[in-house]
């Protein structure tokens, strides 16, 4: 009846309360008095999901009747963060839900905090995919995010004796109320075996792939609601299951254990996310994962094509496929295979569709991070795809030869196959050749893509290359993470329009000198710092002073990101205080967060050194709390939400030319932190936007870096010439931070003095000087607050809405399809 209907879809407080109690009873099988915090969370999630499902059905119907062009975002990683709070914001019912919870006698914040992090990604690339999904829905662009439903996401990080210890992340243990399994949306994925030629009924020569293994991919759908709109798009993640037919084959010959084993083996494919952000040589399972989700996704798109517009000839009009780095680039060969081998197309027609449907985003210039697969592994797992890659390469290299008249050196460099040493398939080259558009993720990065990494390709196809500077969603990183600041901004601007149109933050500029605003701005920041201090005290035992500068570096631990440069500055502050304990130093809290790849020894040693330095400094009575160092364990989207609002200073100190964009830089600045940074990635554009007087710049430019490298870089000269630098490094080697062990950190200090591939020592002096400016600037509270306000006011460009608009207009050529509320 009508009443029942409204408790599932109604947006009033009464409807939410009744819906919540119904879900608690009918889904969780509990009533108020005996419900656990988890029961309460599940009931709240289902109550929220009910409202989203109504909008989802409408969206699906409208998209179908409109035959709308659809963006398929293929990504091996998605890092959406907890859904509940974000969905309430996007539904516009945070206040109603808070009141409803209070009237039911529930702790709303505790319910929100109960949700597990869906950690299906490593870092920036996976989080970018999640921000883009939010913006695609908010901008009402029909889209599907395709990826893998990892049973275990990125490991949970604990710190034991200062070292990172990895714990498996069993995020599905308590159930996942946001996903809907679609057991009937299931596709076979083939591996191994061989190919053979045969003649079809028309007498044409065709290829057949006879696989050695077949695994099923099953769809699990998570609805992604836009902010303040009715549009709900789909995050469709694939889970691997044993294929029935293969199971039964084994069962039929009586091999029951063999059949069960095959099932277990099949399910390993979507079992765990690889916790590296660089390829590890020869990881067969990772290649299997990539092909697994790519094959399911392309088959699903072909199914959708037949269900909507019809014949495959218009596939590239119905869909655009965005490749999030090279991880899904096998999709190019897979689409060719399906069009030719399963749908009877000849090469030219299939290639015409394929190269018009794909676009590729590059996220790295680091040579060690470029994916290649050995031809022998590729052939063993994907024999038909290797033939197709060879054929693409043959057509392509013939074009290159004609265009550059026999420049065989160039042909060798551009080939999809590296022939020096063991032959390898170059996935980046495949992605460029198979796509109609290629983009980098920040202006500097895209320039370097054109002039260094893909120079030969840019010479050949200059129009193929674009820039789309990354962005982040203000819904999660401002409204969800920092409700106090968001309220203050809305009150000051007289509207909350900035949440959907971030350029409106400019309205803050008019108030940047207003002392009333200054006071409230400061209060909001202090409150966030108190919250973070309490959180960190609870989890680490370290107590921070909310009056201190909160100086934060939170990102994956990597030598190129130079957490050790930050450490050298901390050691410098420590030595200064020890030398003159009475000096008037601005108190600082140095906060780190980030995971190291489990096999990356140097990154793990950096974590150990951070904790070792923290232990000595925090316990030194002479320091008396003037500086504090703390490592936040298990930095992820959920925990990050405590960090961004509380930061005064954002550390973005990678060696220029190495960080493709960075997105943490945007999250911090949007929350009123000032940046200390190099001219790297999107820092360049952030500085342009906020104004150079509101940004702490230091260090070599990318140009200067490559010049230094050409001249020959000798880090030991810096060590020998700079007495303070020498004494900071020597202090590490003295054993002070390692209970007298002079060897523990040697691998790190030796690498700095003898190799220093990321030029920490070359930028040390400039960094220290810049940090001194930061401390001086912080003394002038009014001035600092003004800079903080201006940083927020000028961050409009870095909304992922702007990024998605650029993709839609310049790359995808897609249009909004509004769904009425
Ligand atoms: C090959 C595989 C193991 C792999 C898995 C994850 C390789 C790379 C990655 C992740 C890369 C990544 O997160 N890159 C970051 O992408 C961000 C979004 O564009 C950029 O802001 C950031 O500079 C870049 O390092």
Q: Whose CA is nearest to atom 8 of ligand 1?
A: 277
- Residue 257: pLDDT band by 50, 70, 90 thresholds? confident
Is the predicted ipTM greater than 0.90, yes or no? yes
Asked if 355 and 489 sit in the same domain, the reply is no
Q: How many domains does the chain have?
A: 3
Q: How far is Cα 258 from Cα 149, in angstroms, rounded to an integer? A: 25
Q: Are 430 and 499 in the same domain?
A: no
**Gap between the Cα atoms of 619 and 596, Å rounded:** 26
* Residues 646 and 511 placed together within one structural domain of the fold: yes
For residues 463 and 487, state if they share a domain.
Answer: no
**Which CATH number is 249's domain given?**
3.40.50.2000
Task: Could you list the beta-strand ranges (E) of 465-547.
Answer: 465-467
714 and 602, same structural domain? Answer: yes
Give 240's strand partners: 217
Smallest Cα–Cα separation from 473: which of 18, 128, 124? 128
Position 260 scores a pLDDT of 81
Catalytic residue selected from 458, 518, 529, 561: 561
Boundaries of domain holding 656: 482-798
Ligand 1 centroid to Cα of residue 660, in Å, is 9
Q: Rounded to whole angstroms, how far apart are CA atoms 812 and 358?
A: 10
Mapping DSSP to helix (H, G, I), strand (E, B) and coil, where does residue 621 land?
Answer: coil
Residue 556 a catalytic site member: yes
Question: Does one domain contain both 73 and 99?
Answer: no
* Average pLDDT, integer, range 331-346: 97
Residue 250 has pLDDT above 70, yes or no: no
Express the helix, strand and coil content of the chain in percent, nearest 5 each.
55, 15, 30
Is residue 463 in some structural domain? yes
Residue 541 confidence (pLDDT) above 80: yes
444 in ligand 1 pocket by Cβ < 6 Å?
no
Asked if residue 238 lies in contact with residue 147, where contact means CB atoms within 8 angstroms, the answer is yes
pTM over 0.95: yes
Ligand 1 close to Cβ of residue 699 (< 6 A)? no
* Max CA distance (Å), the chain: 92
Contact present, 506 and 497 (Cβ < 8 Å):
no
For the stretch 206-214, contacts whose Cβ atoms lie closer than 8 Å and that sit 24 or more positions apart, written own/partner, are: 206/341, 207/340, 207/341, 207/384, 207/387, 208/341, 209/337, 209/341, 209/383, 209/384, 213/246, 214/188, 214/189, 214/190, 214/243, 214/245, 214/246
Does 413 share its domain with 515?
A: no
Residue among 222, 663, 675, 785 flagged as catalytic: 663
> Are 206 and 355 members of one domain?
yes
Question: In this structure, are 323 and 359 located in the same domain?
Answer: yes
Nearest-CA residue for ligand 1 atom 16 is 125
Is the Cβ–Cβ distance between 344 and 313 less than 8 Å? no
Q: Does 818 map to a domain? A: no
Evaluate whether residue 304 is within a structural domain.
Answer: yes
Q: How far is the CA of 125 from the centre of ligand 1 (A)?
A: 5
Whether residues 248 and 369 fall in one domain:
yes
Q: What is the H or E stretch that residue 431 is in?
A: helix 427-433
Q: Is 638 a catalytic residue?
A: no
From 80-94, 270-284, 676-690, the region with the lowest mean pLDDT: 270-284
Instruction: Scan for tokens 């959920």, then name that residue.
Output: 638
Cβ-proximal residues to 196 (8 Å cutoff; 6+ apart), any chain: 207, 208, 210
Question: For residue 225, is it within any domain?
Answer: yes
- Measured in Å, residue 126 CA sits from the centre of ligand 1 at 8
Residue 607 in domain: yes
- Summarize pLDDT for 617-671 with one digit per residue, the tens: 999 999 988 999 999 999 999 999 999 999 999 999 999 999 999 999 999 999 9
Residue 514 lies in a domain: yes
**Active-site residue flag, 318:** no
Percent of the chain with pLDDT over 90: 94
Asked whether residue 713 carries a pLDDT value surpassing 70, the answer given is: yes
> For residue 475, is it within any domain?
no
657 lines ligand 1 (CB under 6 A): no
Which has more confidence, 68 or 406? 68
Choose, from 556, 658, 794, 797, the residue flagged as catalytic. Answer: 556
Q: Is the residue at 649 inside a domain?
A: yes
Give phi and psi for 198, each to the nearest 5.
-150, 170
Residue 611: predicted pLDDT: 98
Q: Are 680 and 655 in contact (CB under 8 A)?
A: yes
CA distance 417 to 401: 16
Q: Is 653 in the pocket of ligand 1 (CB under 6 A)?
A: no
The predicted-structure confidence for 431-472, as pLDDT tens digits, reads as follows: 999 999 999 999 999 999 999 999 999 999 999 999 999 999
Task: Tell me, using a 6 A CB cutoff, whether residue 122 lines ligand 1.
Answer: yes
Pocket of ligand 1 contains residue 665 by CB under 6 Å: no
Please identify which of the residues 667, 687, 794, 802 carries the catalytic annotation.
667
Six-digit token string for 592: 């780190």
Q: Is residue 38 located within the same domain as residue 78?
A: no
| Shared domain check, 517 and 464 | no
Q: Output the pLDDT for position 48.
A: 98
**Among this protein's residues, is 271 annotated catalytic?**
no
* Predicted confidence band of residue 279 (pLDDT cuts 50, 70, 90): confident
Indicate if 363 belongs to the active site: yes
The reply to whether 658 belongs to the active site is no
Strands lying side by side in the sheet with 213-225: 180-191, 213-225, 232-242, 143-148, 70-74, 319-324, 358-361, 437-440, 465-467
State the first-to-last Cα distance of the chain, in angstroms, to the nearest integer. Answer: 22
Q: How far is the CA of 360 from the centre of ligand 1 (A)?
A: 14
């Amino acid at each position: 009846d009508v009443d029942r209907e409204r408790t599932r879809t109604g947006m009033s407080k009464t409807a939410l309360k009744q819906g919540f109690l119904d879900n608690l009873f009918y889904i969780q099988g509990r009533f108020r008095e005996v419900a656990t915090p988890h029961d309460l969370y599940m009931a709240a999630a289902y109550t929220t999901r009910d409202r989203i499902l109504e909008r989802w059905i409408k969206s699906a119907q409208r998209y179908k009747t409109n035959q709308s062009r659809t963006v398929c975002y293929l990504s091996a990683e998605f890092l959406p963060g907890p859904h509940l709070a974000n969905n309430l914001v996007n539904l516009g019912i945070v206040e109603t839900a808070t009141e409803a919870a209070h009237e039911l006698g529930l702790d709303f914040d505790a319910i929100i905090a109960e949700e597990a992090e869906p950690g299906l990604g490593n870092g920036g690339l996976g989080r970018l995919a999640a921000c883009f999904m939010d913006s695609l829905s908010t901008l009402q662009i029909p889209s599907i995010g395709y990826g893998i439903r990892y049973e275990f996401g990125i490991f949970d990080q604990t710190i034991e004796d200062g070292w990172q210890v990895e714990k498996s992340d069993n995020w599905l243990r308590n159930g996942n109320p946001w996903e809907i399994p679609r057991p009937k949306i299931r596709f076979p994925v083939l591996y191994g075996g061989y190919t053979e030629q045969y003649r079809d009924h028309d007498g044409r020569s065709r290829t057949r792939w006879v696989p050695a293994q077949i695994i099923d991919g099953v769809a699990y759908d998570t609805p992604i609601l836009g902010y303040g709109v009715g549009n709900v798009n789909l995050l469709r993640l694939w889970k691997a299951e044993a294929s029935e037919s293969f199971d039964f084959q084994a069962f039929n010959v009586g091999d029951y254990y063999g059949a069960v084993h095959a099932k277990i083996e099949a399910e390993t494919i979507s079992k765990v996310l690889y916790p590296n952000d660089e390829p590890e040589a020869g990881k067969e399972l990772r290649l299997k994962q990539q092909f697994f989700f790519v094959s399911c996704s392309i088959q699903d798109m072909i199914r959708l094509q037949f269900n909507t517009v019809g014949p495959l000839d218009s596939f590239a009009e119905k869909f655009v496929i965005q490749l999030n780095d090279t991880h899904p680039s096998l999709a190019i060969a897979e689409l060719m295979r399906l069009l030719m081998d399963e749908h009877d197309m000849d090469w030219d027609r299939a290639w015409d569709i394929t190269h018009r449907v794909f676009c590729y985003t590059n996220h790295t210039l680091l040579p060690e991070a470029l994916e290649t697969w050995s031809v022998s592994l590729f052939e063993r797992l994907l024999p038909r795809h290797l033939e197709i890659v060879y054929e693409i390469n043959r057509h392509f290299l013939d074009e290159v030869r004609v265009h550059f008249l026999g420049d065989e050196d160039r042909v060798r460099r551009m080939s999809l196959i590296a022939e020096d040493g063991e032959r390898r398939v170059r996935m980046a080259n495949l992605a460029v050749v198979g796509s109609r558009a290629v983009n980098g993720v920040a202006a500097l990065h895209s320039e370097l893509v054109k002039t260094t990494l893909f120079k030969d390709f840019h010479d050949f196809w200059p129009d193929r290359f674009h820039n789309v500077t990354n962005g982040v969603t203000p819904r999660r990183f401002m409204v969800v993470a920092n409700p106090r600041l968001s309220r203050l901004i809305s009150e000051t601007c007289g509207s909350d329009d900035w949440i959907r149109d971030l350029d409106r933050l400019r309205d803050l500029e008019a108030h940047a000198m207003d002392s009333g605003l200054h006071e409230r701005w400061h209060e909001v920041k202090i409150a966030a710092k108190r919250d973070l201090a309490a959180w960190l005290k609870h989890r680490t035992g370290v107590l921070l002073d909310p009056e201190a500068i909160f100086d934060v570096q939170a990102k994956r631990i990597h030598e190129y990101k130079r957490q050790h440069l930050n450490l050298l500055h901390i050691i410098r502050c420590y030595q200064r205080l020890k030398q003159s304990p009475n000096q008037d130093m601005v108190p600082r809290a140095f906060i780190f967060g980030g995971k190291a790849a489990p096999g990356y020894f140097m990154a793990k040693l950096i974590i150990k050194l951070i904790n070792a330095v923290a232990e000595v400094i925090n316990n030194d009575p002479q320091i008396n709390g003037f500086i504090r160092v703390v490592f936040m364990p298990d930095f992820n989207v959920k925990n990050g939400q405590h960090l961004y609002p509380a930061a005064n200073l954002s550390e973005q100190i990678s060696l220029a030319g190495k960080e493709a964009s960075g997105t943490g830089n945007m999250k911090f600045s949007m929350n009123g932190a000032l940046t200390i940074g190099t001219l790297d990635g999107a820092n360049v554009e952030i500085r342009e936007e906020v104004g150079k007087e509101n940004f702490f710049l230091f260090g070599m430019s990318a140009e200067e870096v490559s010049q230094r490298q050409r001249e020959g870089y000798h880090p030991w000269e810096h060590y020998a010439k700079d007495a303070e630098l020498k004494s900071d490094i020597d202090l590490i080697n003295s054993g002070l931070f390692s209970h007298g062990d002079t060897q523990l950190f040697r691998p790190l200090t030796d690498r700095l003095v003898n190799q220093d591939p990321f030029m920490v020592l070359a930028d040390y002096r400039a960094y220290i000087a810049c940090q001194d400016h930061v401390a001086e600037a912080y003394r002038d509270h009014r001035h600092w607050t003004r800079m903080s306000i201006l940083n927020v006011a000028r961050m409009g460009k870095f909304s992922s809405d702007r990024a998605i608009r650029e993709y839609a207009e310049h790359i995808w050529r897609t249009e909004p399809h509004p769904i009425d509320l």
